[in-house]
Amino acid sequence: MTRSKLSWDRPKSPCGQAAEGGSRQRSPLLRTVACVLALLFVASAAAQAQQPFVTDDADVTLKGKFHFEFSNELDSLQRDAFPNRKQNTAHFELDYGLINGVEIGVAVPLLSIFNDSGTNLRNVTGIGDMNLSVKYNFRKEHENSRVPALTLAFNFEVPTGDVRRQLGSGVADFYLNGIVQKSLNQTTKLRLNSGILFSGIESTGAIGIKSRGTVYTAGGSLVRQFTPKLQLGVELTGAMTTEFQLGKGQLQTLVGGNYLLRDNLSFDFAILSGKYAASPRAGVQLGVSIDF
């Protein structure tokens, strides 16, 4: 599953062509990093993303616009993950407004898994499973209406990561997520998600439920805008297999937010804590979200 977006309102932001302009002698990773740095100096229309929260928002990219997110999350893993000790996930996501109310996207993680020094296992770094997504906002929230905004998102995860190095699941994932979003007042939004992984494996590297089959997911976030530039929020997310075994599931809390650096650029940050084997024990996340 892809890491989702966090939005206040949104159009979106630049990256694809910036990377193509680099020297052919540069590695793909260096071109990507150069692209991210270049994006920090580009201005365009206004908006912010649902990042750093896992709970997705109901908003979609405007027709003909792009939205780019980059985040880096460093996690300390649960004891059950031994000999894996830590995981770093650099996450790249690009979304495009295909038509009014419909967004398509692609996301790729760059994973680094660090193993216990007392074992003979080497640390590994590489590309994880690529995620393709379609998001349809079929009901917008209207002023003076009690009906929330409603959105459906479908994700297809392609097994591009190396299974032998724990970078990929080795199978394709099919995931459907329902999104409800409601403004409680002018500064506070509540978002609720409920999803089903119909087939595949719900994991990213060493994190996630590794058993194959149906997985149920749920989450909620409460986000408040404190100033025109700063918003903060909290969330609780979880996942469970059809056996409903808590010990093999996920439960994670996150506190974080966004700070607007420019009208089209936000700095995203979060700290998180998890329970049960499939969740990280603790982590920190930093990133940027850009509209263009």
| Tens-binned pLDDT, residue by residue, of the chain (292 aa) | 433 333 444 333 334 333 334 433 444 444 544 444 443 333 333 333 489 999 999 999 999 999 999 999 999 999 988 999 999 999 999 999 999 999 999 999 999 999 998 888 899 999 999 999 999 999 999 988 899 999 999 999 999 999 999 999 999 999 999 999 999 999 999 999 999 999 888 888 889 888 888 999 999 999 999 999 999 999 999 999 887 766 568 999 999 999 999 999 999 999 999 998 889 999 999 999 999 9
Amino acid 32: pLDDT: 44
CATH architecture of the domain covering 16-291: Beta Barrel (2.40)
Amino acid 35: pLDDT: 45
Q: What is the pTM of this model?
A: 0.81
Amino acid 80: pLDDT: 87
Amino acid 226: pLDDT: 97
Amino acid 125: pLDDT: 96
Amino acid 200: pLDDT: 80
Burial of 222 (0-12, 13-18, 19+ CB in 10 A): middle
Amino acid 248: pLDDT: 67
Amino acid 88: pLDDT: 98
Amino acid 247: pLDDT: 57
The answer to whether the beta carbons of residues 84 and 286 sit under 8 Å apart is no
Task: Please tell me the distance from the alpha carbon of residue 100 to that of residue 103, in angstroms, as a whole number.
Answer: 8
Task: Please tell me the distance from the alpha carbon of residue 177 to that of residue 220, in angstroms, as a whole number.
Answer: 13
Amino acid 13: pLDDT: 38
- Residue 235 has a CB neighbour count (10 Å cut-off) of 23
Amino acid 7: pLDDT: 43
